[in-house]
Amino acid sequence: MRRIILITIIVIIICMLFACSENNVVTVEQANFNRLIEQIDEIERLTAEYSEGNVFSNTLIYIRGKRYNDIYWNTLAGASDTEFEDYVLSNQELESSAIRDIKQIVIPSTRDIVDFVHTVGTMNMALNGQASSDLGGFAGDITQLVRDIKNTQGDFDMIYNAAAAQFGQPGGFDYADVFANIDAVNMVANYNNNSRVFSIILKDYYNNLTHTSRIEQYLYNEFGGTVFTLEELRDIVHQRVIDNLYIKVLFAKDNLSMVKYYDHIKACCYVYADYLLQGK
């Protein structure tokens, strides 16, 4: 009897330790996220002190400007102000300039890994219209997916299977990028509806996020509805990519003929649409 009681006590202790361990993991993720919000809030405060411009867009430009700063980004989304960068370095108290170097963050509510600066960059582009939003978001990443499978030969099914196998893989159009694009569009829609600062939008969006709500919001905000057949969404995504002037320029810059690689582009668009309706 004593042995049974002892075993029971040990099992209870192990379960309690395991539960504490799980809670600590979540606490660390939430603490890191809370720290990020505080740092963004400081950038917003410094932005407001520095100039009378739009705090929301200027904050995005600052965060994005270190990684994404070529002629395309600077022309379509705005160049980072080097004097403001120095102002942040001189006046920050929370080492907030470090958020420009963040590779990925873990979202506490979903445990998804998201490319943070990619999210900010896509948001920055999205403020300037659909075409630039698509370039900085899903269409630009579909271009990357096409590059990754451009050497695949065969019929359409073979090309589609190659794209499906590559989709979500690290180093290409991975899930951190997928979520970045989706979340960016959703948060810009939130901004357009409420005109709140980035730190508040980011906090509210991620603290209440589920995978289902993320996709439903995105379908509505990006494509104008929540109910599509697979064929409908595939066609919409494909048409958005091949009609985008910026994407045409991007393919030309990479010496990729949109005629020669038509099936590759179509297959990559289909894979993305399939993910949105069917999940990973």
Q: How many C-beta neighbours within 10 Å does residue 147 have?
A: 17
pLDDT at 11 over 50: no
- The structure tokens listed for 170 are 């690290």
CB 100, CB 92: distance < 8 Å: no
The residue-averaged pLDDT of 179-192 equals 97
Closest CA to 185 of 140, 147, 227, 143: 140
Helix (H, G, I), strand (E, B) or coil at 106: strand
Tally DSSP H helices, then E strands, for the chain.
14, 2
Burial 174-183 (b: 16+ CB within 10 A, else e): bbbbbbbbbb
Per residue in 86-103, pLDDT (tens digit) is 999 999 999 999 999 999
**Segment 50-61, tens digit of pLDDT:** 998 899 999 999
pLDDT at 26 over 80: no
- pLDDT confidence of residue 9: 52
State which amino acid sits at residue 236. I
What is the model's pLDDT at position 20? Answer: 44
pLDDT band at 199 (very low <50, low <70, confident <90, very high): very high
Comparing 21-25, 104-108, 163-167, 272-276, which segment has the lowest mean pLDDT?
Answer: 21-25
Based on its alpha-carbon atoms, the radius of gyration of the chain, rounded to whole angstroms, reads 22
Lowest mean pLDDT among 26-40, 42-56, 230-244: 26-40
